[in-house]
Structure 1
Amino acid sequence: MEVRGAPGTASWKYKHFTTRLASTPQSEIMPITETNPFAGQSDMGILHTPSQIDWGHRPGEISRSRKRRSWIWNQFFVIEEYAGPEPVLIGRLHTDMDRGDGRTKYVLRGEGAGSVFVIDEKTGNIHVTKPLDREEKDEYRLIATATDSQTERALEPSSQFIIRVQDINDNPPVFEEGPYSATVPEMANIGTSIIQVTASDADDPTYGNSARLVYTLVQGQPHFSVDAQTGILRTAVPDLDREAQDQYLVVLQAKDMGGHLGGLSGTTTVTVRLTDVNDNPPHFVQSSWLFSVSELAVPGAEVGRISAADADLGDNAKLEYTILDGESGDTFNISGANQERGRDGVMSVCSQLDYESRSSYSFSVEVLNPIVDPRFLRRGPFKDRASIRVAVLDADEPPRFSRARYRMDVSENCPPACTVGRVSAVDPDTGLTNNIRFSIDPQSDPEALFRITPDTGLITTVTELDREHEQWHNITIIATQRGTYTQSHGSRPGDNPSQVSRVVVAVETLDLNDNAPELDRQYNTAMCDSASMGQVVQVLRAIDRDEGGNDSAVHFNIPPDSNVALNFSPTASLVLVSPLQTLSRSTSSSLTLYIPLVLRDGVSGLTSTGTVTVSVCPCLRGGTVCLPQHSSLPSPGLSTAALLAILACVATLLAVSALSLSLRRQKRDSLSPLEEDDVRENIITYDDEGGGEADTAAFDITALQSYGGVWPLAPEGSGRGVPVGGAHSLALRVGEFLRLRLAQVTFDPSQPPYDSVQVYGLEGTGSRAGSLSSLDSEGGKEAEKEVWGSGLEDWGPQFQKLAQLFREREKETFNIP
C-alpha cells in the first residue's frame, strides 16, 4: 500500500525481504517522492506489495523471495487552528490491491472519525473538517481498513495510525498565582532577593519557541530589577527608605518566543512593602519645658508630659527617658507612655515637695533608643536632650509632726495622769506651733486609756495600765490647724478641718514585778499509806506572769498550823518526811489529804497559795500500787479522755432515741387515716384487744347507747322485743336520734372516734328478733331472767332450735331441774 501525504509531504515504500537460509526479516525504507519538510521522520506512510515473487534458484545458489506484507500505519500531522473554506486534505491511503476499478473501499474508524476526520471511500483521501486545538487534544488514533465494496471482504488487515496536531503559538503566558505581595527591609543592599514570579504557557514546549518565556520589568525602575530567565525580583538601589515611601507597585511581563518580535505576553503586579529598621534617631519636639506643681502633691502625682518622636515603628521606636541631674532624680521621676503619635514621657513626683525649702527645680532629660542597629551609627547618636524647669507652688499645708511615728512607754500600775510622752507639730507655712490643737482619735483608743493636752501635746494615762492584760497600745494623734478658714457662707475663726495631720503613737506598758508565782495547774496525786520517808509525792512547778518572772527563784512552804506540816516538806517537789498512819486493808479504806502550799517570789517576796490533793490508799506490803477501791463515793475527778468518752456515749444514746422516735412517728403517720383518699376506703388497725362482754370499763358504753337511754322492752306476752310505741313514732325518734348524733360529730371536735364510722346501738323496726346487743347485759340481768328466750316459739319453726338452746342454758344458769 502507498501512503501519500498532503502537498509538501513524502510517501514511503516498505519492502520486506525473506531469505531461505535466514529467517530474520530485513527492512528497507525507500523514499518515493521528493521533498519532505519533516526529514528524518520515516513514519509518514508505509507501503507494502500484496504479491509474492520467487526468483528461482540453482544448486549452490542462494534462493531469495520477496514478499509484500500487510500495511502498517504510523502518524500524520495537521497544523492546529488551520481553517479554510473547505475540508483540508492531510493525507491519502492507497493499496496495490486497488486496481482502479472502483471496487476498493477505504474505511476510517477511531477518534474523530466521521466528525473531525473524513475519508474518501474510493480514493482514500483524508480531510480534516474543522480547526483543531492542540491544547485540548494533541493526537488522534485511527484505524484504516480496505475492503471489497461488493463482497465486503477485507483486502488488507486493519491497521492503526496516529494523526498529531502540530502546535502554533496561540497561547500567551499566564501568571496563575498573581498578583503577588512581598516585603523587603528598607535600606536593603542592592540585589536583595524579594520574590520569584512564575508564568506558564500552554503551548508545546518541545516544539519551537512557543513556550520559551522571558521576564522583563514594565514598571518599577529604577528601584527594582528582574532576572529574565528565573523571574526573581531584586532590589536595584541601596536607599529604599520606608519613611519616604513604604510601598511600591511593580509590573512584570512574561513574553514567549524567547522575547522576540511576534511573541505573546502576559503581565502581573507585585506589591512590595518595606519593613522598618531602626535607621532614625529620636528627637524631642521642643528643646525645653516649664511645669508647675503644688507642694501638697503626693508621691506619684503627675507633673506634666514631654514629647519625643521617632519615625521608626514598633520596637525600633521604643523610647527611654532619663533625668540627668542626680538631685532632681530623687525628687522627680519620668517614664514612657505610648501615644498614637510619638511617645510621651510622664513626669511625676517621687518625694514630698516643700515650697518653703525649695521653690523650683531645673534639670535636663534625655531620650534614646534602647535597641540600635550598628549599621546606622554613622548617622549620629540615637538620643536627644531637653531642659526642664519645675516651679513648686505654695499651698496652705496641714501641720507637720516632728516625727513620722512615735514610740513611747509607761510603767504599769502607774497612778492616773502618769506622763507617757509628748508630740509636737509645726505649721509649715508660718513655722508656728501655737496655732495647732492636738486630740486623740477615739477609734484608736476605744477604752479612753489616754488623754492629750490640746495645746502642748502632752500624753498622760487616765487609768492604771496592766502589762499582763495588754502590753502595746497604738493610738492616733490628730493635729488640727487653728485660724480663720473659709466656708460657703463666709469666713469663721476656729479649727480648719481641711488642715489636719495624723500620726501613730505606739505606747509600750513596762513591766513591774506585781504578780506572785502560782502553781501552773491543779495537782491531784495518789500515794500508798506504806510509803517510806523521802519519797517524792509530786513534782511542783510554778509560773510568774511578770516579764522574766520565771527566771527568779520560787520558795514553797506549808503553813505551820496545817495538820500535814509534819508529814510533808515542799521544795521543788512535795516529799514525805514522816510515815503516815497505815490504813485498813479493807477495800473501802482510803484517805484524802489537802496539802496547802505557800508560794513566795524570791526577789519581790510576793506570795500566793495553792493546794495539792493527795489520795492515800492501802497497798500491798512493800508495793507501790493501790488496792482496788469499791467505794460508793463519787470519783474525785475524771480525765479528759473519760469525759469525752462519756459525752460520746450520751450523744450516741440521744441520736438513737431521736431515730427511734422518728421511726415511730413515721409509722404512726403511715397508719393515720388522714390521707387524701376517702376514709371509707381505709382500714384502720388498732393494736388493742377487747375484754369481752364482761369488760364494761374498757370503753364508754354510753356513747353507743340509744337516744335518751335504753328503750323499754315490750310487755311480756307481746312476743316481740320491740320498743314501745308504733312504727311511725319509732321512725321519728330514730330520725331525731340520727340528727343529734350527726350534729355532735360535725360541730363537737371532742366526739370520739374522730373521722371514723359511727356505730349506733339501735335496731330498726323491721327485725322480728329485736335487739341482739349485749352491751347493756350487765345492767339488765334481772330483765333477762324474765324474758330469757320468751317469744322464740312464736317466731316460727326456724327459731325452734334457738329456743331450745336458750331453755337449756336458762336451766344451767338458774339450776332449774
Structure 2
Amino acid sequence: MRNLYIWLNILLELSFLWSCAICMKFSKFVSQQNKVLNHARVKRGWQWESLNVLEEKEVEQKLYVGQLKSDSDKQDGSIKYILSGEGTGNIFTMEEDSGKIFVHRKLDREEKSFYTLRAQAINRLTGVLVETESEFVIKILDINDNKPKFIHGPYIAEVPEMSPIGTSIIQVTAVDNDDPAAANNARLVYSILQGQAHFSIEIKSGIIRVASQIDRETKDHYHVIVQVKDMIGNAGALSATATVTIQVSDINDNAPKFQQKIYDMSIIESASVGEIVGVVLADDIDLGKNAEITYSIEEKGHFSMFNITTDNITQEGIITLNKLVDFERTIRRYHIQVRAENKYKSELNDTATIRVYVVDVDEPPVFLRKEYYMEILENATVGSHVGTVTAKDPDIANRIIRYEILQNSYSSSFEIFSNNGSIITSKPLDRETDPWHNITIAATEAQHLAHVSVVEVYIQVIDVNDHFPELQNEYDIYVCEKTKAGEHVQTISAFDKDPVIGHQFYYMIPPEEISNANFTLIDNTDNTATILTLRNGYSLQETPIFYLPVIISDNGIPSLSSTSTLTIQVCNCGTNNDKGFCRRRGLFWIFLNSGAFIAISVFSIILLGLAVIVHIKCQKSPAHFTEKGEDLKENIVKYDDEGGGEEDTEAFDITGLRHKTVMRKHKRKRIIRNDIQSMYRLSLGLGPDVTIFREFLSEKLEEADTDPCSLPPDSLHKYTYEGTGSTTGSLSSLDLSTVDIDPCLENYQGWTHE
C-alpha cells in the first residue's frame, strides 16, 4: 500500500512537469509569433542598432554610438545619409556613406537624458529619397555619479518624555538625481549613525521613532545623526548625513520635594497679625505649569496660629502670623505641618514640619482698652473726677507705668494723675461750646522712657439745663384800632440753647399784669403761644404802644424761665383793617398821622430862629480895623477877583471918597442876654423856650429903631465876613489905611466891604 502511494506521487509529479514543459514551449512560440508580427508592423526599410551613450564617458575626438542603414543599401556609395535634429554637428555627426553616428563630447544624463534626431537616405545621383525620413532617439545611459541629498532641513522635532516605544517623531527625506530606472543608482536606504540607543529609523521611509523610554529630567534633547545611501547600500554606493535635533518635552510626572523635612523659625512676641514668619520652598523638577505648586497647612498641631500663601513667581510658601503670640504665655513653641502639592495633580505632593519659636521682647505698656469713652456734667466743678485709664506692662517684669496727657487744644481742660491714670477737670466745661473733648493719654514705663503707648480718650460733656428759654425772634407786632375783642394779634415761639430732645415751652402773663392787661396769651401746647385782644378797639392818639410781659418756662430739670416784654403798636390799618399796611409804613408814619406832626413843625421853627440868632452873634466877634480908613459913603464897589493891581485904581477914582479923619463917638453898650443859648447848646438840641425868644426879638427891634447908625431901608450894603486874626489882611487891592471909615461901621467889626 505504501509503495502504491509512492508510485502515485511519482506519476503525478511527472505529469505536472510534462504539462509545465508543454506550457513553456507554447508560450515561447506565441512570443516569437508576436515578435515577428511586431517587426513586420514597424519595419520601414531602415536598419539600425540600439543607440545609447554612457554619461560622463570621456571622449578624446569622437566616440562611436551606432549605425543607421537602409536595407536597400548595397554599399556601393550610391546612397547618402543625412542627419538632423538635436545636437547635430556639435554633439553628434554621421558618416554620409556608412550611416555611422559618432558623439564628440562628454554627456551628462542629469542635464539631458536623451536626444531626438532624424535621418534621411537619398540617392546620390538622382537626389531621390531612398528611405523616408525617420526619427530616432539616442539615450544617455545613467551611472551612479550623484550623491543623495537631504531636503527640508534642518530637522528639529519634539517628543514628550516617557513616550511609548515606536512613537513616530519625524520623517527625514533625501533625493538622488540618478536614474531610478537604471539599476539601483537612485534606490535609497536610511540608517542612524548616532542615537541608536533611544531612536530608530525606518530604512525606506526615513521615519524616526522612539526606541526606548526617554526622561526629560535626565536629558532634555538629543542630536541624532541620520545617514542615507543609494544603490540600496551596496558596495560603491554614495551617501549623505543629516543631524536631527530632538527636543524632549516635559510632562507632569514629578512630585515637589521640600529642601528640608524640618524647618526652625522664630517670631518676636510683638509681631502683628499678618507679619511674615518664614519661607519654605519645595522643588519640582518639571517645567512651566507642570512645576507649579500650592502650599497648605495640614490640620495638625497649632495650624490655626499661622497661614501660608503661595508666591506664584518664586513658587515659595510664605508663612504669616494668623494670631498674636505672647512669650509670657505657656506656649512658646508651635508645631505645624505644611504640604506642597502639584497644582494640577494633587497626588504629587510632599510634606515638611515647621517649628516656630516665640522670642521675648521688652514691650511697651498695653492699655486695657483700645479707646476710652467718658462722661461728665457740664456744671461739674474744677477737680471733678472724669474717669480712669489703665495700662499694664505685658512683660514678666511688670514695671511701673506713668501717665500723661499729650498736648492738644483740649488737653488744658483736664489733668491726669501720673501714678494711677485718674483724669480730673482743670477748667469749667460748657457743653454748648464744646460738647466733646478728645485727649490723648500716653503710658510710659518708668525705667524705659522709650517704651510709650498712647490711647485716645473721648469725653462727652453732658448737658445741664443752664440756659433760659428765649423768644425765637424780635417780633414786630401791630394791632389795628378797629380790632374786636378776641382777635388774633401774633403767634410767638421760643428756643433754648440747651440741646434737649423733646423741649417743651410754657407761656404765661405775669399774674400782676393780668388785671391791667389789654391782651391775653393762650399757650398752644406745641411750643408756641397766641396773643389775643381783650377789648374792642384801640386808640392810636391815646395809647399808641402797649407793652406785654411774657414768662417762658422750659421742661428742664430744674426748670428755667425768663420774662420777655413784647411791644405791641397800635396802627390805623385803613379801611381793610390790614396790619400789613402798618408794617410797610413803619413807626414813623404812625407818628406823622398824629398831633406830633404839629409839635415837630413848631420845633423846626424854633431851631431856625436860633440859627439866625447865632448868625447875628457871630457878627459881634472882637475883630477891629487897626488902621484908619476913608469914609465909604454909599458907593458900592464889587470885586470878583483877588486884586487886579493898577487896573483897580483905573477902574474907579476913589479920590472923592477921601476926607479928614473923623473921631469915633462913644456908643452905649449893648445889652447881651445871658439866657440866650450858645451855638454849642443849639447843636445839642437844647434851644430856648418860645417866651424868652420872643422877648429877645422885641429888644433887638427896639435897639434897631433907636440906633443912629442903623442903615436906611433903601440902602444896599453887602458884607462878607473874612474872620478875625488874619495875618495876611484883606486880599482886596484897596488900601484901607487911606480910607476914612464911617464911625457907624465900628459896630460891624470883622466885616469887609465887598
Superposition TM-score tier, normalisation by shorter sequence: 0.5 to 0.7
Distance 1:109 1:617 in 2: 148
Could you say which residue in structure 2 is the equivalent of 1:176? 151
Please tell me whether the aligned partners of residues 185 and 275 of structure 1 are also in contact (alpha carbons under 8 angstroms).
yes
Could you say which residue in structure 2 is the equivalent of 1:601? 554
Could you say which residue in structure 2 is the equivalent of 1:108? 84
> Among 357, 360, 363, which residue is 1:391 paired with?
357
- Asked if 1:217 is matched to 2:182, the reply is no
1:199 alignment partner, SS class: strand
Cα displacement string for residues 89-145 of structure 1 (whole angstroms, at most 9, x for unaligned residues)? 4455667999965784735355x4444444556655444433333444445566667
How far 1:421 moved relative to its partner? Answer: 1.2
Distance 1:166 1:611 in 2: 144
Please tell me whether the aligned partners of residues 108 and 119 of structure 1 are also in contact (alpha carbons under 8 angstroms).
no
Distance 2:107 2:155 in 1: 35
2:451 alignment partner, SS class: strand
Could you say which residue in structure 2 is the equivalent of 1:356? 328
- Which protein has the larger Cα radius of gyration, Structure 1 or Structure 2? 2
- Asked if 1:554 is matched to 2:529, the reply is no
- How has the CA–CA distance of structure 1 residues 223 and 523 changed in structure 2, closer, same or farther, with 3 Å as cutoff? farther
Distance 2:95 2:486 in 1: 153
Distance 2:547 2:177 in 1: 124
How far 1:419 moved relative to its partner? Answer: 1.9
> Among 223, 234, 242, which residue is 1:268 paired with?
242
- Asked if 1:481 is matched to 2:445, the reply is yes
Cα displacement string for residues 772-815 of structure 1 (whole angstroms, at most 9, x for unaligned residues)? xxxxxxxxxxxxxxxxxxxxxxxxxxxxxxxxxxxxxxxxxxxx
Distance 1:98 1:612 in 2: 168
Aligned partner of 1:500: which letter?
A: V
Aligned partner of 2:401: which letter?
A: I
> Among 340, 349, 355, which residue is 1:382 paired with?
349
Please tell me whether the aligned partners of residues 328 and 363 of structure 1 are also in contact (alpha carbons under 8 angstroms).
yes
- Asked if 1:365 is matched to 2:329, the reply is no
> Among 366, 372, 382, which residue is 1:416 paired with?
382
How far 1:518 moved relative to its partner? Answer: 6.1
- Asked if 1:235 is matched to 2:200, the reply is no
Aligned partner of 1:354: which letter?
A: D
1:448 alignment partner, SS class: helix
Aligned partner of 2:190: which letter?
A: Y
Greater shift, 454-463 or 89-98, is seen at: 89-98
Distance 1:320 1:236 in 2: 36
Could you say which residue in structure 1 is the equivalent of 2:464? 512
> Among 238, 251, 260, which residue is 2:225 paired with?
251
Distance 1:283 1:246 in 2: 21
1:498 alignment partner, SS class: coil
Please tell me whether the aligned partners of residues 597 and 612 of structure 1 are also in contact (alpha carbons under 8 angstroms).
no
How far 1:451 moved relative to its partner? Answer: 1.7
How far 1:453 moved relative to its partner? Answer: 1.0
How many residue pairs are counted as aligned between the two chains? 546
Please tell me whether the aligned partners of residues 491 and 531 of structure 2 are also in contact (alpha carbons under 8 angstroms).
no
- How has the CA–CA distance of structure 1 residues 615 and 321 changed in structure 2, closer, same or farther, with 3 Å as cutoff? farther
1:508 alignment partner, SS class: strand
> Among 400, 404, 418, which residue is 1:439 paired with?
404
Aligned partner of 2:388: which letter?
A: R
Distance 2:100 2:202 in 1: 51
How far 1:502 moved relative to its partner? Answer: 1.9
Please tell me whether the aligned partners of residues 317 and 369 of structure 1 are also in contact (alpha carbons under 8 angstroms).
no
- Asked if 1:497 is matched to 2:449, the reply is yes
Please tell me whether the aligned partners of residues 529 and 619 of structure 1 are also in contact (alpha carbons under 8 angstroms).
no
Distance 1:272 1:306 in 2: 36
Aligned partner of 1:174: which letter?
A: K
Distance 1:262 1:541 in 2: 130
Distance 1:266 1:611 in 2: 127
> Among 355, 371, 374, which residue is 1:405 paired with?
371
Distance 1:157 1:559 in 2: 164
Please tell me whether the aligned partners of residues 81 and 94 of structure 2 are also in contact (alpha carbons under 8 angstroms).
no
Aligned partner of 1:328: which letter?
A: H
- How has the CA–CA distance of structure 1 residues 447 and 285 changed in structure 2, closer, same or farther, with 3 Å as cutoff? closer
TM-score (norm 1): 0.54
Please tell me whether the aligned partners of residues 157 and 169 of structure 2 are also in contact (alpha carbons under 8 angstroms).
yes
Distance 2:336 2:79 in 1: 117
Please tell me whether the aligned partners of residues 172 and 201 of structure 1 are also in contact (alpha carbons under 8 angstroms).
yes
Distance 2:280 2:114 in 1: 79
Distance 1:581 1:447 in 2: 63
> Unaligned stretches of 5+ in structure 2?
1-30, 590-754
How far 1:269 moved relative to its partner? Answer: 2.0
Distance 2:70 2:451 in 1: 130
Please tell me whether the aligned partners of residues 325 and 363 of structure 1 are also in contact (alpha carbons under 8 angstroms).
no
Aligned partner of 1:439: which letter?
A: E
Cα displacement string for residues 555-591 of structure 1 (whole angstroms, at most 9, x for unaligned residues)? 456789799972886745675744997999xxxxxx9
Aligned partner of 2:464: which letter?
A: L
- How has the CA–CA distance of structure 1 residues 172 and 541 changed in structure 2, closer, same or farther, with 3 Å as cutoff? farther
> Unaligned stretches of 5+ in structure 1?
1-34, 50-70, 484-495, 585-590, 635-817
How far 1:436 moved relative to its partner? Answer: 1.4
Q: CA RMSD in A?
A: 5.5
Higher helix share: 2
Distance 1:564 1:77 in 2: 159
Could you say which residue in structure 2 is the equivalent of 1:775? none
- How has the CA–CA distance of structure 1 residues 575 and 519 changed in structure 2, closer, same or farther, with 3 Å as cutoff? closer
> Among 164, 174, 196, which residue is 1:199 paired with?
174
How far 1:477 moved relative to its partner? Answer: 1.5
How far 1:509 moved relative to its partner? Answer: 3.0
Please tell me whether the aligned partners of residues 109 and 142 of structure 1 are also in contact (alpha carbons under 8 angstroms).
yes
Please tell me whether the aligned partners of residues 47 and 95 of structure 1 are also in contact (alpha carbons under 8 angstroms).
no
1:221 alignment partner, SS class: coil
How far 1:357 moved relative to its partner? Answer: 1.8
Please tell me whether the aligned partners of residues 189 and 233 of structure 2 are also in contact (alpha carbons under 8 angstroms).
yes
Q: How does 1:440-479 map to 2 (within 5 A)?
A: 440-443=405-408, 445=409, 448-479=412-443
Could you say which residue in structure 2 is the equivalent of 1:311? 285
2:243 alignment partner, SS class: strand
Could you say which residue in structure 2 is the equivalent of 1:62? none
Distance 2:172 2:474 in 1: 101
Please tell me whether the aligned partners of residues 316 and 369 of structure 1 are also in contact (alpha carbons under 8 angstroms).
no
Distance 1:624 1:497 in 2: 77
- How has the CA–CA distance of structure 1 residues 237 and 96 changed in structure 2, closer, same or farther, with 3 Å as cutoff? closer
1:254 alignment partner, SS class: strand
TM-score (norm 2): 0.58
> Among 256, 262, 269, which residue is 1:295 paired with?
269
2:302 alignment partner, SS class: helix
Identity percentage of aligned residues: 35
Could you say which residue in structure 2 is the equivalent of 1:566? 519
Aligned partner of 1:108: which letter?
A: S
Aligned partner of 2:84: which letter?
A: L
Please tell me whether the aligned partners of residues 483 and 537 of structure 2 are also in contact (alpha carbons under 8 angstroms).
no
How far 1:455 moved relative to its partner? Answer: 0.7
2:361 alignment partner, SS class: coil
Please tell me whether the aligned partners of residues 308 and 367 of structure 1 are also in contact (alpha carbons under 8 angstroms).
no
Please tell me whether the aligned partners of residues 592 and 616 of structure 1 are also in contact (alpha carbons under 8 angstroms).
no
- How has the CA–CA distance of structure 1 residues 105 and 135 changed in structure 2, closer, same or farther, with 3 Å as cutoff? closer
Distance 2:581 2:227 in 1: 121
- How has the CA–CA distance of structure 1 residues 523 and 156 changed in structure 2, closer, same or farther, with 3 Å as cutoff? farther
Distance 1:201 1:287 in 2: 63
